[in-house]
Amino acid sequence: MRNFYLLDINLSTQESKVVDITEIFKDYIGGAGVATKLFVDTCKGDIDPLSEDSSIVFAIGPANNHYPVITKTIAVFKSPLTGDFGESHAGGNVGLAMYQAGFHALRITGRAQNFSYIEIENEHVKIIRADSLKNLSATAAERILSDKYSHINIKSIMKIGPAGERLSPIACVGVDSSRHFGRLGLGAIFGSKNVKAVVIYGEKYWDTPRTKYNAFYKDLYKKITQSELMRKYHNLGTAVNIIPLSKINGLPVRNYSQGFFEGADKISGEAMADKHLSQKIACAGCQVGCIHIGEVRIMFDKENHMYKTKKVSYDHEPIYSFGSNLSIDNSDNMLLLLHEVERQGWDVISMGVTLAWATEAFQKGLIDQEHTMGEILNFGDGETYLRVLEKVAKNANEFYTDLEKGSYYCAKKYGGEEFAIAFNKNEAAGYLTGIMTFLGYAVDTRHSHLGNAGYSIDEKLKNSETSIEDRMKELYDEGIWRIIYTSIAGCLFARRVYHKDEIIPDILNAIGFDGYNDKTLWNIAKKVHAMKWKFKLDNGFDFDDLKLPKKLLHIMTSNGLITQEEFKKGVEIFRGFVKEDLKLIEE
Amino acid sequence: MVKLIKVVNRDQCIGCLSCVFACARTWEHVVSPDMACLTVRRYPGTEGAFSIRVCYGCTDPDCAHACPTRALTPRDGGGVIFDSAKCIHCEDAPCVEACISKSLPWNEKEKEPFVCTHCGICANFCPNDVLVLVEAGV
């Protein structure tokens, strides 16, 4: 087996070192497994996530860059949004740049003395003053750094927008123009460390394995590019879900008031492709090219026919959070809102859901025009929402400052907890398909739709008599499999290509990472699952606090009405699984 | 018949680097986008596009003219043939400098150019028909 290295950077002491962590890779594979292990072993309990001692760990897997669509980088940190385990995944070029720089894991601790960005060239680290980047939009910061490093063809730029600098707990870290470590507030941690950006590049590489590797690659390449398995992502992208979900009452509309959107055909994948799609791009090493770039043209001087064009990436979640859930069916307005979110560097789901809460709170009289500085919040009014985002960006008053702290915080302060659609403080993704969706958000360690895909169990088991016990077991098993897959840092869009017996052990074996089978990988994943949960429980998470926002009890989902009792039962069943897994690391 | 690799649909490139990885995998037996006979200039994201730089198959190649030792000589039908034994590994890489389209990458490890043989493996692994292998002169 090859050696794997961690680049360990302490911003406070301005020191960095390369550490051989091959043994940790052997035990935890890479990606989510290795990042979790490195993080929980060094993160002290009760730490303030925005303090100097807080750390961020990034990790890729042993197969990154070696196979199609194994392109992700996993970030693990303590979330300033939830106060417990933070995990977020991004594509772009980070995974390739880390590999070329010669390390499979990167840890950043401490705080830079001055507002800075970090340059990593192979193992050489520079912390560079960057006062001129202060308060710059995420997009401008990337443009400038991209220009500064224009002589480096392959590089990765991770950066934050002003939201991260303001320590918004829903701030994200943007990656290479259109990818993100979106969820759970990594952007605020960058901001707290005085780090605007990280630029990574290098010249290292590994020899190609001579055995079965080329044959595996070719086979996977064919499946990725020619089979139906990936067509959805290559074609319209995840936005293809909009109309089908709406048809089955599964698309959240007007802050989860219903699952059918009357304007779905105007913001659907088909409509977006017809009207706005200007380009598709890919993460390094992925032939699918699922990143859909939408373009909107704006006339800014009618007399002289002067136009400007704004471009922003879109897929299902942004369309849900700034389209259907705000009742916006004007796709121009929706893209302009997404563009502003991109510039400020907020997590698009969290900000969209928080605006939806604010609109309902306004309509119910919990907040008024004094709070909004005269704005009247109406679902569907994209132009007002644009002004609202500008006011949030300026922190124009206390209310607008609060809005970028997320819906849970706002609902606690202003009321309306029953319609703040968040699970353990993390705003919900775009599905109203049934109880398993919400149980999925609730019991996933990062409270994401991507952790266990509860929505697909809802869809698969629609009208089925399968018991809640069996459904929860399926949810748990899918979550464990996803820990394996994210430990090799695969993109979840390609899960159907890699989701079959023995394929992961085989591809690992072909690159010399041998000695694993489905059973050993499963056991590793369960241990990683336990480590994540131990961190959560040690940092204040309590299963008893999980509940369905009351509003959802009265909304018709794709699978009918749902009950708090069933939700609680599902949580209890899952608590039992966690209890069992915890024994693996207690022994 | 001599074949040449051609960029026929530059604007269909998605920047996945599949072509450069295929070249490096096949000829250099490494996993790297920097060890290949072609490069993809990335202007990624929402503000740009991609530009594929692979040997243009010149019939009177500037790189061959620039080579002081005739390690690079014109190939029938276009492009160049590289004789590694004649290469003196110039510090200033005049062959690379001479190729104004930056289609002749430099092998930092061996201190010599990466010379495309127009084998077509990059086209085989391009998912969007950006590159094709064509008969010279057609």
* Same domain (yes/no): A395, A260: yes
Instruction: Using an 8 Å CB-CB cutoff, list chain A residues near B39.
Output: 153
* Same domain (yes/no): A439, A500: yes
Q: What pLDDT shows up at residue A349?
A: 98
Q: Does residue A33 fall inside a structural domain? A: yes
In angstroms, what separates the C-alpha of B31 from chain A's closest C-alpha? Answer: 6
With H, G, I as helix, E, B as strand and everything else as coil, classify residue A230: helix
Structure confidence by residue, pLDDT tens digits, A53-93: 999 999 999 999 999 999 999 999 999 999 999 999 999 99
- Kindly indicate the confidence band of residue B48, based on its pLDDT and cuts at 50, 70 and 90: low
B44 pLDDT above the threshold of 70:
no
In angstroms, what separates the C-alpha of B120 from chain A's closest C-alpha? Answer: 15
Is there a contact between A177 and B14 if contact means CB atoms under 8 Å apart? no
Q: By residue range, what is the domain housing residue A448? A: 433-586
* Same domain (yes/no): A262, A302: yes
**CATH code 3.30.70.2190 for B3-130:** no
Q: Does residue A427 fall inside a structural domain? A: no
Q: What is the ipTM of this complex?
A: 0.82
Q: Rg of the Cα trace of chain A?
A: 23
Q: Does residue A37 fall inside a structural domain? A: yes
The last residue of one of the domains, among A361, A392, A418, is: A418
| Residue A267 and residue A50 in contact, taking contact as beta carbons nearer than 8 Å | no
Instruction: Using an 8 Å CB-CB cutoff, list chain B residues near A281.
Output: 14-15, 44-45
In angstroms, what separates the C-alpha of A275 from chain B's closest C-alpha? Answer: 16
Q: Which of A66, A93, A279 to mutate to test the interface with B (most CBs of B within 10 A)?
A: A279
A284 touches chain B (CB under 8 A): yes
A321 touches chain B (CB under 8 A): no
* Same domain (yes/no): A388, A437: no
Q: What are the boundaries of each domain within chain B?
A: 3-130
* Same domain (yes/no): A340, A197: no
A365: left (phi over 0), alpha (psi -120 to 50) or beta: left
* Same domain (yes/no): A561, A451: yes
Tokens at A268, concatenated: 């659907």
In angstroms, what separates the C-alpha of B30 from chain A's closest C-alpha? Answer: 4
Of residues B35, B44, B125, nearest to A205 (C-beta): B35
pLDDT beneath 50: ranges in chain A: none
The last residue of one of the domains, among A386, A418, A450, is: A418
Of residues B15, B30, B35, nearest to A281 (C-beta): B15
| Residue A196 and residue A141 in contact, taking contact as beta carbons nearer than 8 Å | yes
* Same domain (yes/no): A98, A146: yes
Looking up tokens 């020619």 gives A226
* CATH number, domain with residue A132: 3.60.9.10
Tokens at A249, concatenated: 């009452």
Q: Are strands A195-201 and A116-121 parallel, antiparallel or unpaired?
A: parallel
Structure confidence by residue, pLDDT tens digits, A430-448: 999 999 999 999 999 999 9
Residue of A nearest to B105 (CA): A153
| Residue A64 and residue A22 in contact, taking contact as beta carbons nearer than 8 Å | no
Q: What pLDDT shows up at residue A587?
A: 64
Q: What pLDDT shows up at residue B136?
A: 87
Q: How many domains does chain A have?
A: 3
* Same domain (yes/no): A406, A452: no
* Same domain (yes/no): A320, A404: yes
* Same domain (yes/no): A561, A515: yes
Q: What pLDDT shows up at residue A99?
A: 98
Residue of B nearest to A154 (CA): B42
Of residues B31, B127, B128, nearest to A66 (C-beta): B31
B128 touches chain A (CB under 8 A): yes
Between CA A403 and CA A388 the distance in angstroms is 10
Termini Cα distance of chain A: 28
* Same domain (yes/no): A383, A500: no
A299 touches chain B (CB under 8 A): no
- Kindly indicate the confidence band of residue B47, based on its pLDDT and cuts at 50, 70 and 90: low
Q: Does residue A426 fall inside a structural domain? A: no
Mean pLDDT of chain B: 92
Q: What pLDDT shows up at residue B138?
A: 66
* Same domain (yes/no): A442, A551: yes
* CATH number, domain with residue A496: 1.10.599.10
